[in-house]
Amino acid sequence: METADLEEMAERLEASGAYRILRRLAVPTAFNAADGTPTKLGIVLDVETTGLNPGADEIIELGMIKFEFSADGRIFRVVDRFTGLREPAIPVPTEIIALTGITPELLHGRTIRSEDVSAFLAETVIIIAHNAAFDRPFCERAWPDFVSKHWACSSTEVAWRSHGRSGSRLAYLLNEVGYFTDGHRAMNDCEAVLTVLGHGPIDGGTYLGELLASARRLTVRIYAEGAPFDSKDVLKARGYRWFEGSADRPKCWRKDLFEDLLDAELAFLKSTVFSGKGIELPIQRFSAIDRYSIRTL
């Protein structure tokens, strides 16, 4: 059956109100026609790895899409793509093979050259990953050029639920804008992120525009050092996560938030966790250049 006939059937089913149609994702070479607006180059990135620990696990696949965008969040031309496989020094777990379909045979003898990554990153101003706190540390360990780049997280830096989305999981977001993709591979996820970011909330703009605005804001990290043990449930419900400590910081609960929310958060801690006592908690500030970096884990 011809594509046009299938599309007509899909449109009729959708118009009935009884069906919702998902189309296989096919990323266009251009999202918007050039109109003279100044643009910059960004990258959507995803990695597949042997596991979750950037200190012990390794990247086995790197995918990147380079694209032009404007300051207001419009995506213009897809400029280039990069995909590469890399044989790790450790075995690939069976669950990773089952999830990705990337077998040891596919990886044998494969490598991703630093000079190729460096050339692809040239002139780009921002790297977007759907879980930047995961992807960035892995990339920084493998290729030093990633250390000096600005990063943004499309999972956490867009208020998906406030836009009526069911959550931040990429597969859900892609389905909700009308598409599906096969497999769990780096380039598939890059295409999905770029497609979702090119859409926008009902009140106008794009999700990329919101993400860029978030990336420009400073964030702060509060360390709730000395918090009473019985406040752990309150802190966890508030979004704090347990920090195992470091050479210069004790174990404690900590939380990252936008800087303009700091005063309200400190007031909450003082009244709820520290029972009105005077407190001076350690605070760190981050911008897109060091947010999610392995140096700030």
pLDDT at 151: 98
Angstrom distances, CA of residue 217 to CA of 62, 137, 254, 288: 28, 21, 19, 8
Percentages helix, strand, coil for the chain (3-state, rounded to 5) are 35, 25, 40
Closest CA to 191 of 66, 72, 74, 70: 66
The neighbour count for residue 43, using CB atoms within 10 Å, is: 23
When pLDDT is averaged across residues 199-216 and rounded to a whole number, the result is 92
pLDDT tens readout for residues 3-61: 778 889 989 999 999 999 999 999 999 999 999 999 999 999 999 999 999 999 999 99
pLDDT tens readout for residues 84-101: 999 999 999 999 999 999
Cα separation, 118 vs 122, whole angstroms: 6
Closest CA to 133 of 17, 51, 54: 54
**Does the pTM of the predicted model rise above 0.75?**
yes
